[in-house]
Amino acid sequence: MGDFKLTTVEEMEAATNRLLETGAKVGADAWQIRVKNQTPHCKFGEQGICCRICAMGPCRITPKAPRGICGCDAHGIVGRNYLKFTAGGAATHSDHGREICHTLYAADPNGAYKVKDPEKLIRIAKEWGVETEGKDIYDLAHEMAELALMEYGKPFGVQRWLKRAPEHTQKLWHDAEIEPRAIDREVAASLHMTHMGCSSKPEALVRQSLRAGLADGWGGSMCGTEFSDVLFGTPKPIDTEANLGVMNAENVNIVVHGHDPSLSEMVCEYADDPEMIAYAKSMGAKGITVSGVCCTSNEVAMRRGIPMAGNFLQQENVVLTGACEAIVVDVQCIFPALGPLSKCFHTKFITTSPIAQMPDSDYIRFDVGTAAEKAKQIVMTACENFKNRKPDLVYIPDMKQKATVGYSLEALVKVLDGVTNSQVDVTGTTKPLLECVTSGVIRGAVAMVGCNNPKIRPDYAHIEMMKKLIANDIVVVASGCSAQAAAKAGLMDKSAKDLCGAGLKRVCELADIPPVLHMGSCVDISRMMILVSELAKDSGLKISQLPVVGCAPEWMSEKAVSIGNYVVATGIDTFLGVDPYVSGSSEMGEWLTNGVRDWVEAAYTVETDIDKLCDLMIERIEEKRTAIGI
Ligand code: MSK
């Protein structure tokens, strides 16, 4: 195994504890403290049986009060809360996708945003029946952006992207009446259904939850992923590094955090500019290091090799290093705590989006029209802040791992081309991967996604489950903070092949890939949906028959529930390590873990014992193999 060694969760915790000591010196608050202050959590909230959708309450369900004032029972209240949660997630991902479409609409050969992958744009245009012949690529970009934006509010018809799914899946969606129509319509319809005096029937609420989820995964998120690729390039394997040790004590450190790559791409562009590097040097630094947190980090890591400082529950740690000149955020998953925390250090907390405005931040409003100028202003502000560092507070844990990231579907198909004994030409298809699976060299695949949640020891579930899966010859595709957990531990280093079973190890060697494949950010779970669709079409199987499952062991956000719903609705059994506030309703539990199977051939499993959760996934994969006789 050479010198390769995984970074353990214990080592990461020790580094965090050392950083918290710095925090204590300057009187900083921390999520670890706030969790204690918030514990125990409200039992009604935990079970989903608290209702405050009108002003007659709030109502809570107890044995003595089994109905709210309007007469709604626990099942209706839990169901409405679940659908509202989903709608929040679907709206958030989809609005991110909408912003990307607006950026595409502003693409200009002489402007800040260019079309970096014209072939992909043409491919999508053909898929959508748009004439491409003889058309200027920027005219085509604007036409496609407008068409995509229409998907958000068109009065008739269903999402264009649904046609990418196998016919069988499309039929299931049609028959179950869960085909998503306009993206905004599904979000609005969800909020309409959950208004006082509308739906309280669990079946109807679950059905709409799947539909709103599909509007995200097969609508807004797919727009976000596909048009980000057109604008910023389709990811290809690229080397990078992960964990706090990527920050450099001698450089100006800029940390980008959030989700929308429109901002971070520009910040990276300027941080590389010789004029800006000279400016940093004039301030006493040796250079500029940009690193990332959360999905913004995933976006710039897989396109530019920008290192990943950490994931969701590590966002405060980057400030606690005392070496962060600016933490620049766009939208989603940003702790408001970063404002007061930054005030304990010299760090500038720079908010940039009207969608995510927070106290104690410097607001530098970013928009596509002024992107270049604002990005330059941000980089200069960070450089100027270098001199305000307090050297006695600087401590960067010496902890980082190598990672190879950027396995878009296009890249994955390409790298796996070599891994086949097939006599027929399977180039450009998923058939080599299918051969590995049918022959048993790889037993199956797990899509590991989602956040961290203080309810689970941070990163422990992601890392331990991945280790067990790859040891059992199950390949892992990861996105979001799960991908970063893997990268921080070293599971995206190609040397991690030595932790695999013999079959997966051989595939990793032949294809020269790590056993845990970085597929991108949260919106990029849409890439996984296309992957399973292609596997189903190439194999002639239904998606639900493939030995593939989804897992979000440490999830926390509304977006994760929306994701879970579209993954299940696509036919993939999905395993959660945190309960989505439904334990207060046996009927909702039954619908989500069993009833939906009649509509979409898949369902949820919720298990908070992480070892058991992993074993259940492996069992499920093996059951699926047996069922199709492989
Ligand atoms: S960033 S949604 S904490 S994965 Fe996409 Fe991470 Fe979850 Fe945010």
189-223 tens-digit pLDDT? 999 999 999 999 999 999 999 999 999 999 999 99
pLDDT bracket for residue 2 (50, 70, 90): low
The minimum-distance atom of ligand 1 relative to the CA of 333 is 8
Segment 107-129 shows an average pLDDT of 97
Pocket test for ligand 1, best of 95, 302, 451 (most atoms within 8 A of CB): 451
- Cβ 450 under 6 angstroms from ligand 1: yes
Q: What value does the mean pLDDT take over residues 512-516?
A: 97
**Residue whose token pair is 């319509």:** 185
Phi then psi for residue 408, to 5 deg, are -65, 170
For all residues of the chain together, what is the average pLDDT?
96
User: Which numbered atom of ligand 1 lies nearest the CA of 484?
Assistant: 6
Q: What average pLDDT does the segment 389-413 reach? A: 97
Q: Are 366 and 351 in contact (CB under 8 A)?
A: no
- Comparing 46-50, 326-330, 349-353, 430-434, the range with the smallest average pLDDT is 430-434
The pLDDT of residue 416 is 86
The pLDDT assigned to 421 comes to 52
Nearest in space to 492 (alpha carbons), one of 511, 468, 469, 476: 476
Mean pLDDT for the stretch of residues 356-362: 98
Predicted confidence at residue 427, as pLDDT, reads: 56
The arithmetic mean of pLDDT across residues 409-429, rounded, is 72
The half-sphere exposure of 79 on its side-chain side, counting CA atoms within 13 A, is 27
**DSSP SS3 for 549:** strand
Query: Cβ of 64: how many Cβ atoms within 10 Å?
Result: 5
- On whether the CB atoms of residues 551 and 575 are closer than 8 A, the answer is yes
Distance 419 CA to ligand 1 centre (A): 32
- pLDDT of the residue at 149: 98
For residue 409, is pLDDT > 80? yes
Over residues 486-512, mean pLDDT: 97
* Three-state DSSP string of 478-516: EEHHHHHHHHHHCCCCHHHHHHCCHHHHHHHHHHCCCCE
**480 near 522, Cβ under 8 Å?**
yes
- Predicted confidence at residue 178, as pLDDT, reads 98
Mean pLDDT of 182-194: 98
Q: Is 323 in contact with 347 (CB distance < 8 Å)?
A: no
Atom of ligand 1 nearest to the CA of 452: 3
Q: Does the Cβ of 312 fall within 6 Å of ligand 1?
A: yes
Q: Residue 297 pLDDT more than 50?
A: yes
Q: Which range is least confidently modeled, 90-99, 208-217, 424-433, 436-445?
A: 424-433
Distance CA(231)–CA(107), nearest Å, equals 8
CA of 221 to the centre of ligand 1 (A): 14
Integer Cα distance of 237 and 235 in angstroms = 7
List of E strands, 353-493: 362-363, 401-405, 444-448, 474-479
- pLDDT tens digits, 137-154: 999 999 999 999 999 999
Pocket test of ligand 1: the residue of 96, 255, 557, 561 to mutate, having most ligand atoms within 8 Å of its CB, is 557
What are the pLDDT digits (tens) for 528-569?
999 999 999 999 999 999 999 999 999 999 999 999 999 999
Of 92, 295, 302, 563, best ligand 1 pocket probe by most atoms within 8 Å of the beta carbon? 295
At residue 417 the predicted structure's pLDDT band, cuts being 50, 70 and 90, is confident
234 lines ligand 1 (CB under 6 A): no
Could you tell me the two tokens for 131?
A: 């004439």
301: confidence class by pLDDT, cuts 50, 70, 90: very high
Q: Is the peptide bond before 180 cis (omega within 30 degrees of 0)?
A: no
What domains sit in the chain, N to C, each tagged with a CATH number?
69-232 (1.20.1270.30), 244-393 (3.40.50.2030), 403-627 (3.40.50.2030)
Bond preceding residue 454 cis, omega within 30 of 0:
no
What pLDDT, on the 0 to 100 scale, is given for residue 424? 47
pLDDT given at position 1 = 52
Decide: 557 in ligand 1 pocket, CB within 6 A.
Answer: yes
Q: Which residue is listed with tokens 């926390």? A: 556
Split at pLDDT 50, 70, 90, the class of 3 is: confident
